């Protein structure tokens, strides 16, 4: 009889451990299933502007397809992105993102502002947000630029100035140099 009490106490202790493990495992499975049932975010574009700046912003959002967490389709979208220019209420290069439920409305003071708004939406999507945060930005300085001395029309002659002649003729160099400035809102 004494043996039976020891086994019973042991079983109760084991059962408590098992219960904790079961609840932990159940919570893990519930979280896993919730993450799987969300599926990819389906986005639809409703953008009429065809300027190169807006196309660039759209292309950057389309790059998110590679993550497999975002898809683009007109049928049953989780998010519709509408973009248009509002030069009356917004300054040049300014943008405003108004988000409500399944609609994200991006307004730009011009095509560059619209591009900056699209890039902001891309950054939020890339960070894993399924609901886009409303935001408004306008430049603090109307002229932002980077000075770059080119080697072929220098006011002085030197071997150091001619070393980079071929580099400056390479378009891949300029793409690598200028695109980060674009994302940091530097007008080049």
The DSSP code sequence of 99-150 is EETTEEEEEESSHHHHHHHHHHHHHHHHTT-SSPPPEEE--SSS--------
pLDDT in tens, 126-178: 988 888 999 999 988 877 777 777 777 767 777 777 777 888 888 898 888 88
- Domain-located, residue 88: yes
The pLDDT mean for the chain works out to 80
User: Which range of residues forms the domain containing residue 96?
Assistant: 39-137
My answer on whether 69 and 17 are in the same domain is no
- Domain-located, residue 51: yes
pLDDT of residue 53: 92
My answer on whether 128 and 155 are in the same domain is no
Q: How many domains does the chain have?
A: 3
- Domain-located, residue 144: no
- Domain-located, residue 169: yes
My answer on whether 45 and 9 are in the same domain is no
d(CA 160, CA 140): 36
My answer on whether 123 and 160 are in the same domain is no
My answer on whether 56 and 11 are in the same domain is no
Please answer whether residues 118 and 58 qualify as being in contact, where contact means their C-beta atoms are separated by less than 8 angstroms.
yes
CA dihedral (168, 169, 171, 173) positive or negative: negative
Residue 114: is its pLDDT beyond 80? Answer: yes
Please answer whether residues 46 and 103 qualify as being in contact, where contact means their C-beta atoms are separated by less than 8 angstroms.
no
Average pLDDT of the segment spanning 22-46: 66
- Give this prediction's pTM: 0.67
My answer on whether 33 and 44 are in the same domain is no
pLDDT in tens, 164-186: 788 888 889 888 888 877 777 76
- Domain-located, residue 10: yes
Distance of CA 154 to the CA centre of its chain: 40
- Domain-located, residue 32: yes
- Domain-located, residue 7: yes
My answer on whether 112 and 166 are in the same domain is no
């Amino acid at each position: 009889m004494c043996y039976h009490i020891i086994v019973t106490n042991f079983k109760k202790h084991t059962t408590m451990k098992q219960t904790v493990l079961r609840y932990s495992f159940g919570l893990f499975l519930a979280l896993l299933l919730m993450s799987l049932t969300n599926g990819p975010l389906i986005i639809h574009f409703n953008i009429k502007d065809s300027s190169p700046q807006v196309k660039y912003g759209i292309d950057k959002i389309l790059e998110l397809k590679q993550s497999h967490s975002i898809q683009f389709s007109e049928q049953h979208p989780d998010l519709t992105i509408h973009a248009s220019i509002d030069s009356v209420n917004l300054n040049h290069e300014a943008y405003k993102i108004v988000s409500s439920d399944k609609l994200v409305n991006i307004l730009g003071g011009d095509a560059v502002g619209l591009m900056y708004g699209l890039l902001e939406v891309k950054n939020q999507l890339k960070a894993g947000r399924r609901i886009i945060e409303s935001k408004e930005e306008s430049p603090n300085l109307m002229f932002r630029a980077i000075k770059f001395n080119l080697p072929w029309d220098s006011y002085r002659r030197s071997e150091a100035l001619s070393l980079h002649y071929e580099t400056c003729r390479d378009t891949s160099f300029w793409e690598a140099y200028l695109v980060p400035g674009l994302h940091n809102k530097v007008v080049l």
